Structure 1
Amino acid sequence: MLVLRREQLSLWDAILPEEVRTFNAELTEVSRWLDDERFMEPFVKKFSTHIGRPTVPVDTYLRLMFLKFRYQLGYETLVAEVQDSITWRLFCRLPLDMAVPHSTTLIKLTKKYGEKTLEELNTLLVQKARRERIIKAKKLRIDTTVVEADIKHPTDAGLLADGVRVISRTVKKIKTAVEKAGENLASFRDRTRTVKTALLAIGKVLKRRSGEAVKEVRKITGKLITVAKKTVTEAKTVLELCKEKSDGRVARLTTTLEKFVSATEQVIAQTEEVQSGNRRIPERLVSLFDPEARPIKKGKLKSPTEFGRKVILEESEERIIVGFQVLKGNPADNTLLEDSIDRYRKVFHRPPLAVSTDRGFYSKDNEEMLRGKYVRQFAIPKPGKRSAERKQLESSSRFKRLQKWRAGGEGTIGLLKRKYGLRRSLFRGTLGNNCWVALSILTYNFTRIATLSLEAGS
């Protein structure tokens, strides 16, 4: 049963002195905005408020998530800090005589509510700020960035070793569960030590930094392919033997094993391609634990290739993220502009007066599209050779002004990555990554709108 709010104070909260019950200016303003009943609508539409066991109040969950991303805390640390702080307890509407929700409860609630609900919350927040004249949002600057997945830097040998390790670990759990039921499985050889020795050998060889070292690494990688193939073959035998098992735990572990066997087979195939000299492999797997993560090149000197997901951010002149999307794969920027304008129109029910992007978004079709959607001004530099007419257009004061304003979007992206966790998603999978991005941006918007609201009131 969905519980929206906990309205009544406990006796202990009521007798606290005023100094203890007072938040700082930012938390006070954020609390006032969160009191709006409209923020409950996305939850009420999807979940019943009459049937089932009572949940953690939605209001309390949102406040806990704000603190988590505002101060970049882990779930366990968040629970400990809120448990220890009277001010944070009162902000989260948690009475002094009540336990703070367990960290695993918050994790499950995040998965349950999903990214769509969180995206709706951001839309409602932006619309509320527009109604209260905190923002005008007449201009739009658009850029893309990469949110890294929580994985180590992938190598062919490392992925093969991961496959052998995780398959061996899962089979060991299956054997334990089956043996408890009084049955036995065929022998499965754990080759974890073999792959560990191979990885250590690669590390020693690479210290030489010579052409011979590269050949030796390929030779060791070839041995790892053989080890991985044997592990996969034996794992398939285990799967065949477990087909008829009705035990729920065995069934869940079997499903997990099937997933890792399939992923390891893909790693073996792509490693054999690399060994044969083909380094351009479409849909290359970069992690067994986050298969949807992609290698993305953004032309950065510090990190030429990043491993994660591409995100498009749409920002207003008040530095509010009015729209965003976590993208699948690495689509070209110039294919994303129309969707961004449509998202803006869906939120504000009108086109933006001005749009500014970098040269990656340029195409003649995009300029025609902006004119067709009644965008009065736009500044998208053209890459490559430009005509005299184009040079004159890009030298105009209006174009330069919009481009200078667009450059400020890099600062917002830097702030999101440095202070709100957008650099690296610590949630796994597509659903987890989407929720992480949505919560990070929602927290940033609440903080920014609270600041603007306080400035307007002063």
Structure 2
Amino acid sequence: MLRIRAKSPELFDSLLPEELRKLPEELERVNELLDNPAIVEPFIKRFNVLMGRPCVPIETYVRLMYLKFRHQLGYETLVAEVSDSYAWRRFCGIGYNDRMPDSTTLIKLTHKYGEETIKELHNALIAGLKAKRLIRGRKIRMDTTVVEANVHYPTDASVLTDGLRRMYKQMGHIAKSGLRLGRSYKKVKKLLFSISQHLRKRSNASQDKVRKINKNIISIANAVISKVRDVIKNKKGISKHRKNIISNTASITQQVAAQSLERMDGIKPQYRIVSIHDPEARPIVKGKLDKPVQFGRIAAIVQDESGYITVAQAHQGNPAEVNMTQQLVNEHQDVCSCKVKAIAADTGFSSDENIQALARSGIKHIGIPARGKPMPEVRKKQKQTWFKKLRAFRAGIEGVISFLKRSFGFGRSMLRGNTGTSVWVSWAVITANLYRFGKNI
């Protein structure tokens, strides 16, 4: 059953000193902005059910998630910290005698509410800021960055080992399966260690040995997959849910084994799986010296001249920025209900088609540098004062991205999958906007 509002203050509340009844200035302002019926409307529209156990109130959940991303806390740490703080309990609407929500409950609710609900929450927040005349939305800047998946650096052998480890744990839940995967898993771990020993030598002979070890690991993985599939097919008493989990892991591990053979033959797989736990993550090359290859997804953000982020999107793989330009501008105009007059972006968003489309839509000043050596008329435009100001304005979004990654966990998603990353990106941006309003920046 959906609950919207938290409990009203208790009688015990009036006995507390005034210092304990007063929220910090930041939380007071955030509470004021969140105390808006439009904030809970997306949840009511999708999850307004009158049957079942009462869930965590929506107002409490939203405020808990703000504290989680604001202070970059894990769910268990969040529950412990809120439980121990009068101010945070009061901010979240949790009575001093009330039991805190379990960390697992918050995790399940985050997955349950999903991507679309949180996006609508973000849009409602932007509408509230616009109603307070804090957002104009006439001048914007945009950029993309990598949101890394929570995975280790992948090699073919290590990803296969992860698949075997996961199947080993999952088969442990099946009583009397008849499989002894522990031996195969331990053997693969020893082979994985021997690979690191051979790679230290950096000789042709050691490279040949590594190839042989990789083939051995692939053959062991294929044999284990075959045995696991036989068990879940023939053994009775295994739940459908358990079968689906094990079959999915076996299928992903088999794809990793196949792509490993392709890579050994010099063939580059079109969609390389870099993680068993997050198979939708992709390798992304951004040209950074410290991180030549990153693994995750691309996030695109749009910020207006007031400093609030109006649009945040997560994309699988590494799509070209030039294909996002018009989509980002259109979404910003829909969210803010306004017409953009000036736009600033880097060369990645530039193309003749985009420049012409933006000009036709009524954008007067387009501060996007042309690719390559510009034509004389383009060079003349780029020397004008308004273009130079937009170019300087665009540079500020690099600092915004850095701030998001340092302060709100924007750089690495702790949620798996494309949907999970989109939810993570949206919450990080919502928290950043609330923080800006709370600090009155």
**1:301 Cα deviation after fit:** 1.4
**1:224-244, CA deviations, whole angstroms, 9 ceiling, x for partnerless residues?**
1111111111112112213xx
1:213 aligns with 2:206: yes
Distance 1:430 1:418 in 2: 22
Distance 1:213 1:15 in 2: 75
**1:451 Cα deviation after fit:** 2.8
2:223 is matched with: 230
1:260 is matched with: 249
Distance 2:91 2:31 in 1: 7
**1:329 Cα deviation after fit:** 2.4
1:62-101 alignment, distance < 5 Å: 62-101=62-101
1:326 is matched with: 314
Distance 2:388 2:103 in 1: 49
Q: Secondary structure at the match of 1:407?
A: helix
**1:188 Cα deviation after fit:** 4.5
1:382-421 alignment, distance < 5 Å: 382-421=370-409
1:407-446 alignment, distance < 5 Å: 407-446=395-434
Q: Secondary structure at the match of 1:140?
A: strand
Distance 1:187 1:14 in 2: 63
Q: CA RMSD in A?
A: 1.5
1:182 is matched with: none
CA contact (8 A) 2:322 2:348 kept: yes
1:366 is matched with: 354
1:18-417 alignment, distance < 5 Å: 18-48=18-48, 50-174=50-174, 176=175, 179=176, 185-190=177-182, 191-242=184-235, 245=236, 247=238, 250-278=239-267, 280-417=268-405
Task: For 1:390, give the aligned amino acid.
Answer: V
CA contact (8 A) 1:420 1:444 kept: yes
Question: What's the TM-score once normalised by structure 2's chain length?
Answer: 0.96
Task: For 2:240, give the aligned amino acid.
Answer: A
**1:165-207, CA deviations, whole angstroms, 9 ceiling, x for partnerless residues?**
2222222222x2xx4xxxxx44454311111100110111122
**1:135 Cα deviation after fit:** 2.3
Moved more, 102-111 or 132-141: 132-141
Moved more, 99-108 or 377-386: 377-386
**1:351 Cα deviation after fit:** 2.2
Moved more, 13-22 or 401-410: 13-22
Task: For 2:24, give the aligned amino acid.
Answer: N
Distance 2:110 2:419 in 1: 10
Distance 1:319 1:143 in 2: 14
**1:49 Cα deviation after fit:** 5.2
**1:443 Cα deviation after fit:** 0.5
Distance 2:4 2:91 in 1: 15
Q: Secondary structure at the match of 2:94?
A: coil
Structure 1 residues 66 and 187: CA distance shift in structure 2, 3 A: closer
Structure 1 residues 187 and 61: CA distance shift in structure 2, 3 A: closer
**1:428 Cα deviation after fit:** 1.7
Percent of aligned pairs sharing the same letter = 39
Which runs of 4 or more aligned residues in structure 1 lie more than 3 Å from their structure 2 counterparts after TM superposition? Answer: 185-190
For structure 2, which runs of at least 5 residues remain unmatched after alignment? none
CA contact (8 A) 1:66 1:443 kept: yes
**1:7-49, CA deviations, whole angstroms, 9 ceiling, x for partnerless residues?**
4211222211111111221111001111112111111111225
How many matched pairs?
440
CA contact (8 A) 1:188 1:234 kept: no
**1:389 Cα deviation after fit:** 2.2
Question: What's the TM-score once normalised by structure 1's chain length?
Answer: 0.93
For structure 1, which runs of at least 5 residues remain unmatched after alignment? 180-184
